Structure formats: structure tokens, C-alpha cells
Homo-oligomer: A and B are copies of this chain.
């Protein structure tokens, strides 16, 4: 007797995430899901990365927040196409929200999309959006114990930026302890120590991101 093979049954969110990914692939847009605690510097990372892109690469941004359009205004002030999504209290972006956001962007013009998730080091990791890369932004003032306390988020990262690194000494931040915690849950994601304020470390992160974007653009 043959046992039936149970196929992976996608839930509604994952199904729409797959459709988002297909749409992004067709539009040749490399999408980065940016996740972090409140105030770690997601918007600053996006703006500082966008202004370092080669001129032929056009960025777009989707801003996720429970309320307000402060971040979208900051992005729009730089002349970058942006959509603000207000979750109305929801603790994460989901795939239907991203789909609605994509419908508002000039996709034909874009090469790179930064999706700023709701500030939350837990829930966003559990909801696929359809992005190509999961970027986790940690920051020095939050303390070096975060990978131990929020393992799910750090396990989900394809890359980790440790922001506000200019304040490492002010906060007695132990980078080796942070790294050990990160490696316990995520052996491979590269760690970039950066400061959006001084620009330190941004060149290495930029080079790595462009390599990924390049590989994506070539394979399409």
C-alpha cells in the first residue's frame, strides 16, 4: 500500500508572498525586508544605503508603521519613490500589505526595494513577504545580549547590520559576546558593524549588498 505524500500546504500569507516574489522577479526588483527593534535605525540604514548606490540603480521604499507617516516623509524628501503602510496597530507587515504597497509603486523604474518592517524584534520574522533578502538591523544601545534573547529574529537574518557602532565604548558593547550569540542561532549571515551617523562600515555593507543584487540581476 502506498502512503499519500502530503504536500506542503501554504497558508494564505505564504501563498501571497510567493506571488509577490514572482511579481518582483518579473519586474527585476531585488527586495530587502528590513527588520529591527524600534529605533535601531532602519530608516537611516535605508537612506544611507540608497545614497551610496551606483547611479544606474534606482531604489524604492515601502515604510511599515502602526501609525504616522514620519518615515515616508523622510524618504520622500530625498526624492525616492515611497509608500507608507500603516498597520493600524498590527505588529508586523504581511504579504497582502506588501502586495498593496507594490501596486502603488512605479515598479518599472525600480531596481532595489527596501521594505521597512514594523519595529519589532519578534513578530516580523514569522511572516514571509516575498523579499529576496532578510536584513536585521541591531544597534549598540540595545545591548550585546539581543541574539540570545531574540533568537528567532537573528536566525531569520541573511545579513545583520550592527548600527550606531560609533557608540560602542559609550555603551561598553561587547562585540565578541554579540557575535557568539549570533553564531549560536545563525552560523553564516555576515555581520557588518556600521554607523549611519559617521558612515563607518557602510562601504563593506554596500559592496556585499550590490554583489547580491548583481547576482540576482544576472540570473533574471
* A contact residues vs B (CB 8 Å cutoff): 37-39, 65-68, 70, 89, 91, 118-123, 139, 141-143, 145-146, 148-152, 164, 167, 170
Taking A91-B120, A120-B120, A122-B123 as given, write out 11 further A-B residue pairs in contact, using a Cβ cutoff of 8 Å, ordered by the A residue number: A37-B37, A37-B38, A66-B122, A66-B150, A67-B150, A68-B149, A91-B122, A119-B150, A120-B121, A120-B123, A139-B141
Q: Are B122 and A70 interface neighbours, CB within 8 A?
A: no
- Nearest Cβ in chain B — how far from A153, in angstroms? 9
Q: Are A149 and B37 interface neighbours, CB within 8 A?
A: no
Nearest 4 Cβ contacts at the A-B interface = A39-B142, A141-B141, A91-B122, A68-B148
CA distance A81 to B118 in the complex (A): 35
- Nearest Cβ in chain B — how far from A202, in angstroms? 19
Q: Which residues of B contact A89 (CB under 8 A)?
A: 122, 152
Q: Are A38 and B68 interface neighbours, CB within 8 A?
A: no
Nearest-neighbor residue (CB-CB) of A86 within chain B: B149
- Nearest Cβ in chain B — how far from A69, in angstroms? 10
Q: Are A39 and B141 interface neighbours, CB within 8 A?
A: yes
Knowing A121-B119, A146-B39, say if A151 contacts B91 (CB, 8 Å): no
* Candidates B91, B119, B121, B148; contact of A70 at CB < 8 Å: B148
